[in-house]
Each structure stands twice: as C-alpha cells, then as structure tokens.
Structure 1
Amino acid sequence: MDNTPAPPDDLEYRNGPGTRVTYRARQRRTDHTVWLRLALHLPAFLLSSAVVLAVALALDSLLGVPVWLPVALWAASGGLAFHRPTEVLLARHVLHLHRPVPTELTRLAPVWREVTARAGVDGSRYELWVEDSDELNALAAAGHIVAVTRRALRDLPTSRLAAVLAHELGHHTSGHSWSGMLGWWYAMPGRLVWRGLARMKPRMIRTARGASGMALCVLTVLTCYLAFTTLKATYGLPLLLFVLPYLTAAVGRRAELRADVHAARLGFGRPLARSLHERLTEQSAAPGLAARLLSHHPDHRTRLHHLQRYL
C-alpha cells in the first residue's frame, strides 16, 4: 500500500482483521456537477416525456388504459436504477461485467477495504465487478457498481489499483454515478425514438432522390418554415441542443477532476499521478480540439496539473 498517511479526519483504520473503522455519518453527498448534469439532461427528459405521453394516449384510445397510469409508472421507474437485482442485470447485460472469480477477489477485496476504510465508507454497500478488457480502466455506475478491467487488476501495483478504486469511490460518494444513471434511464424513450429515426434515414434519402424537383422544393420550404416558426415561438431555445453535447462533456470532465481530488485526499495522489504520467508518455498523439471538447475525460496533462497541489 502507498505509505502516504490518510488526511486527518474522523477515520481510524488498520489493515487487518479486528480493525476498528469509523464510518462517516454522511456516506454520500452531492456537488454542483450533479445538479448541472441533471439540468443538462432536462431536454432529453422532456422528449422522453412526450414519447411516453404519446404511447399513453395510444393505449387509452386502443385499450382504454388511463393516460396517467403509463406516465406514472414511467416516472416511478427511475427507482429501479438503484434496485440491486436491476443493477445486476445492468452490470451483466449492458456493461458486460462479471463477478470476480476467487483469485480476482483475493486481490481486489483487501484493496477495496482499505480504500473505503480511509474514506470512512461502508464498502459492503457496493458491488465489485470485473470487465474483460485489456485496457487500464475502471468505472462506477448506478448506485452500487464498482468495476475494474482485467488488465488493471492484473498489471497495476497495489497502490495504483487503490488509487483507481479511490477515484471510482469518489464518483459514488459525490453523486456522479447516480445522477448519470438517472439521466441515462429517463432519456431512454427519446433515445429509442431517435435511433428509429436514424434507421429510417437511408429510406427517407432514397425516397427524396426519387421525388421530383418541385416536391423537394416544397418540402424544403415547408421544413424551413416549421423550423423558423418553432424557433420564433421558443425564443431560439432548440438551438441549445447543438451546444448540449459540449456542455455535458465539460461537466463530465469536471466530475473526473473532482474524483481525482477525492483519491488524492485519501492519500493516493502520488500513485494516481504516476499512473497518469505513464499513460501520458504512452500516448501517441494529442487529440484534436473537437475531440477534447466532446470528451467526458480531461486529458492527462490537465489531470496532473490539478493533482499537483495535493502531492
């Protein structure tokens, strides 16, 4: 383990059986990135609400199902995102994770116990998973999922593995994971409709190519008129949709930096910085400006710069 002492707080720990660990009264909190992320998911939530309402109206007219029932069920379904059996299905079938085998758990569990002990967090509240990947990576998802890749578990020294886990724990204790999960969950109906329209796009293009020039001209004028009318009625707010991906990525980068700070305050700043420095030297070329602006992770130089004050 890294020899850097834990910051002075209400935490006492010794790595071993019979250890006395003081848990913090508040296991989780929320920072400003949580509320910003939820606010940026609002357009997707409104689109999904419109889709659900349309389905509810169709069910009412066809089967006599009350309109409020599908809407209420969908609104309450967000709680499933933190339901343990639902999280297991998410981990296995969406994130493609697996439970640690005994040899993996022998390495992972003691490191996780030490990280959570330093943080004053009950580590048994979380589920440890492993991703079959040859990348050095880890993730925190939903309300209780913490996963590392097979390569990270195999190749990282213990102190660096602890730093990675402390980073992911920071996402959970700061609320980044549950807010991202809620945004993803409630945007699902709108996302499904968008994918359906994307699949119809080639057919629409073929139909447009077969249409006459006059029909295309009329369709273009009608589309422009509807777009202008919509923008005028909404004071140009739909134009913000083009900026949302950049704003969402910026909030994601900020959340990553705050998770780095969480790991550093637990005493894992130096091993985390060493890992970032190695990945920086292995990087073949710096990404372009557009790629950096759309990335939810800050570049390694930026992360190292923000870690300096904690080293």
Structure 2
Amino acid sequence: MNAHIRRESESESAGPVLVTRRTRFSVLIGDLVVSLPSVVLSGWLIWGLSALVGDWLVVVAALVWPVSGACVLLVSVLITGATAQASRSASPEHAEVVAAWAAVAAVARIDESRYTPWVHDVATVNGEMHGYATLGRHIVVTRRAVDVFTRGELRAVLAHELGHQLLGYMWLRMLIKWYRGPADLLFALAVGVVSKVASLLQVGPRWIAHRLYRGPRPVILLGVLVVAIVPTAAVLGSGWALLAVSTRFLGLPTALAVVVAIVAQPVARARLSQWREYGADRVAVELGYGQDLRGVLRRLQADWDAIPDEQRLLAPLFHTHPSPDSRRRAVVALDPRRHPATADDQPS
C-alpha cells in the first residue's frame, strides 16, 4: 500500500501528491497498450476508406486525422467548463459540495482551487456512478449523491474522484478514446450482429442465467460453452472480411494476432478500469475516509443486486467497475487496524 501512495516534492505541485510517479506511469502505459490495436486499426480504416474516394482525400485524412484529437480536447474542456459554470449558478447543492471539497482538500493538503467541484443534475451517471472526474480538473458528483449520502460519505466520494485526478493523464485517455473510435464503432457493430443473432435464436445471456446461473458450477460452464458456439460463429463470420483484408497486407500470422488483440481489448480495458477504481479507493482510504467509503459501497451494493443475473454473469470480465462488495473488501484490507471488518464486510 505505502509503496504505491506517498508524497511527491512540493516543487511539482501546490501540495503533496498522493500517487507515485510509478503508479501514474503504469496507468499511462496500460492505457496505451490495451488500446494500441484499435488506434492503429482506426487510422487504417480512416485512410483506407478515404482511398476508396480518391487519393486527394487520403492526403486530407493524413493531415486532419492526427491533429483532430487536439480539437476534441479543446472542445471537451470548453464544454466541461461551461457546464460547470451553469451548475454552480443553478444547483442549490453546490455550496454543500464546495464545503465538502474544502474539507477533503484540507486533509489532502492541496490547494482546493486546483480542482473545481460541481453538481451534475442527474440521479446517476450511466445508471450506476455517483461521481466522476473530467478534463480541466473538474470533480463532479451527482445530485442524488448529495441528497442520499451523509456528509462523510459525500467527502469519501469526492476523495475517490480526487484519486482519479491524481492517477493522471485524463487528457491522454480522451485522446485514446477518440483515436480508437472508428475501430470501436466497427467492433460495436459486430457485437450488435452477434447479439441480434443470439436474440433471434433465444440462446443469449438471459437464457443462460435463468436456467443455469444458480446451478452447479460445472453445469454452468458446460452450458456457457455450448451456447457460446452460435455467437462465436457469428463473430467469426462478421470478422472474416476484416481478417481476409488484413491477411492480404499483413500476412496470415500477423493478421490473426491483430484480430485476437482487438477482440481481447474489451476485457483488458475493463480490467484496467477496475484497477483504476481500486487505486482511487486507495487514495480515499489514505485520506482517512475508509469507513465512509464502506458506507457508500454498501449503498451501491443495493443497486448492484438489482442488476439482472444475466448482466452480472459477465460483469467481472467486461464491467468498468468491480462489484461494490469486492471494493468494500479491498477497502477493509487496506487498513484493517483503523477500520476493523464487520459482518457485512465478510465474503459472501
């Protein structure tokens, strides 16, 4: 724990930073590695499609595509800043969030003006999150978080989002997301085809979950293996054209490696995202909000339990967040002396 979180020199920031350079560098390398195949494929798609129109469009794409990310960053910062300003003037909860943030900044010994807190006027983000960090050093919580959480729990959420900011390179994540966009869209279309085929055949995740989820583990694994044959066939069929074109330019072994890397990316990205969540939780615990964070996670577990079984079945592989129970056990393990485990923190 202490090997990953410590102070850095005062000369580099307005206050001590709680995440080491090594951890931030690991996040940087992880983001680059897990998205590199999609970034390369996206550039290839952009220039390949441009070549179908004419050589002049290839030249335009070669000039515009590499610098388009800078424009996206600028627009994102401007939109986030405008949204934050509107929220500060319109949200009655803003003063409460500012006060909570001032307390967190004091504990972290950083200048509170380095980051801008504001309230997003929604119940949850993407149906589950109650806070997030953005470009431009903004720390955001939802209106429901202010209404539902206690004062200490609200500070724990803000401390967690501070952890995301301290993990760094949010601008790079935005750039990577933009430059891998065309390949992600292509992959989403392929997944949509697979889901549609599985739905028509009525052998999708819901079928597995309803019949096998509560059965013996060997039966579950056997059922998943059998049912996966049809979606797998659909994936192979939809990706055959891409593989054939790739083979022509790259050779069969390289093309197969590229396809496998692209297909494996969702799992790798999910694992990296989950690792970042644990890292942000670690910052909140180091700031002394471990017990309050456990309270937040207990509340989130109720929402998690309401997710249909078929979605929770594959959540450990593809979900961007670990389950609240897993995070809560990790919080207890980080500081068992200061926050002794209770019955509800034990593995189920």
Q: State TM-score, norm by structure 2.
A: 0.64
User: How far off its partner does 1:51 sit?
Assistant: 3.2
CA pair 223-193 structure 1, distance change in 2 beyond 3 A:
closer
> Looking at both structures, which has the greater relative contact order when contacts are Cα pairs under 8 Å and sequence separation is at least 6?
1
User: How far off its partner does 1:293 sit?
Assistant: 1.4
Matches within 5 A, 1:277-292: 277-281=298-302, 283-284=304-305, 287=309, 288-292=312-316
Answer whether contact 1:143 1:177 (CA < 8 A) is retained: no
Counterpart residue identity of residue 238, structure 1: V
Higher helix share: 2
Stretch moving more, 160-169 or 129-138: 129-138
Stretch moving more, 263-272 or 47-56: 47-56
Aligned mate of 1:267, from 280, 285, 288: 288
User: Identity over aligned residues, as a percent?
Assistant: 25
CA distance, structure 1, for counterparts of residue 246 and residue 43 of structure 2? 24
Residues 242-261 of structure 1: per-residue CA shift (max 9 Å, x gap): 22111111111111000000
5+ unaligned residues in a row in structure 1: which ranges?
A: 1-6, 12-21, 202-218
Matches within 5 A, 1:190-201: 190-191=183-184
Answer whether contact 2:246 2:255 (CA < 8 A) is retained: no
Counterpart residue identity of residue 99, structure 2: P
Aligned to 2:342: none
Counterpart residue identity of residue 327, structure 2: R
Aligned mate of 1:246, from 267, 282, 285: 267
Aligned to 1:88: 78
CA pair 126-256 structure 1, distance change in 2 beyond 3 A:
same
Counterpart residue identity of residue 156, structure 1: F
Aligned to 2:69: 78
Residues 257-295 of structure 1: per-residue CA shift (max 9 Å, x gap): 000001111111110012212333565367533122111
Answer whether contact 2:6 2:17 (CA < 8 A) is retained: no
Counterpart residue identity of residue 244, structure 2: L
Q: What's the Cα RMSD here? A: 4.0
Stretch moving more, 73-82 or 258-267: 73-82
Aligned to 2:181: 188
5+ unaligned residues in a row in structure 2: which ranges?
A: 195-236, 339-348
Counterpart residue identity of residue 79, structure 1: A
Q: Does 1:24 align with 2:15?
A: yes
SS at match of 2:132: strand
Answer whether contact 1:81 1:143 (CA < 8 A) is retained: no
Q: State TM-score, norm by structure 1.
A: 0.70
Answer whether contact 1:176 1:255 (CA < 8 A) is retained: no
Residues 2-47 of structure 1: per-residue CA shift (max 9 Å, x gap): xxxxx99699xxxxxxxxxx93266985142332122111112112
CA pair 70-54 structure 1, distance change in 2 beyond 3 A:
same
User: How far off its partner does 1:180 sit?
Assistant: 2.7
CA distance, structure 1, for counterparts of residue 293 and residue 77 of structure 2? 28
Residues 200-233 of structure 1: per-residue CA shift (max 9 Å, x gap): 99xxxxxxxxxxxxxxxxx99x959937945434
The count of aligned residue pairs is 271
Counterpart residue identity of residue 24, structure 1: G
Give the number of the structure whose alpha-carbon radius of gyration is greater: 1
Answer whether contact 1:231 1:238 (CA < 8 A) is retained: no
Aligned mate of 2:297, from 276, 282, 290: 276
CA distance, structure 1, for counterparts of residue 41 and residue 315 of structure 2? 27
SS at match of 1:99: helix
CA distance, structure 1, for counterparts of residue 276 and residue 167 of structure 2? 9
Counterpart residue identity of residue 131, structure 2: A
Q: Does 1:106 align with 2:86?
A: no
Answer whether contact 1:92 1:98 (CA < 8 A) is retained: yes
CA pair 253-115 structure 1, distance change in 2 beyond 3 A:
same
Aligned to 1:155: 148
Matches within 5 A, 1:53-72: 53-54=47-48, 61=55, 64=56, 67=59, 70-72=61-63
CA pair 291-300 structure 1, distance change in 2 beyond 3 A:
same
CA distance, structure 2, for counterparts of residue 224 and residue 73 of structure 1? 25
Answer whether contact 1:167 1:259 (CA < 8 A) is retained: yes
SS at match of 1:41: helix
Aligned mate of 1:171, from 151, 160, 164: 164
Stretch moving more, 270-279 or 252-261: 270-279
CA pair 55-99 structure 1, distance change in 2 beyond 3 A:
farther
User: How far off its partner does 1:70 sit?
Assistant: 4.1
User: How far off its partner does 1:125 sit?
Assistant: 3.5
CA pair 231-130 structure 1, distance change in 2 beyond 3 A:
farther
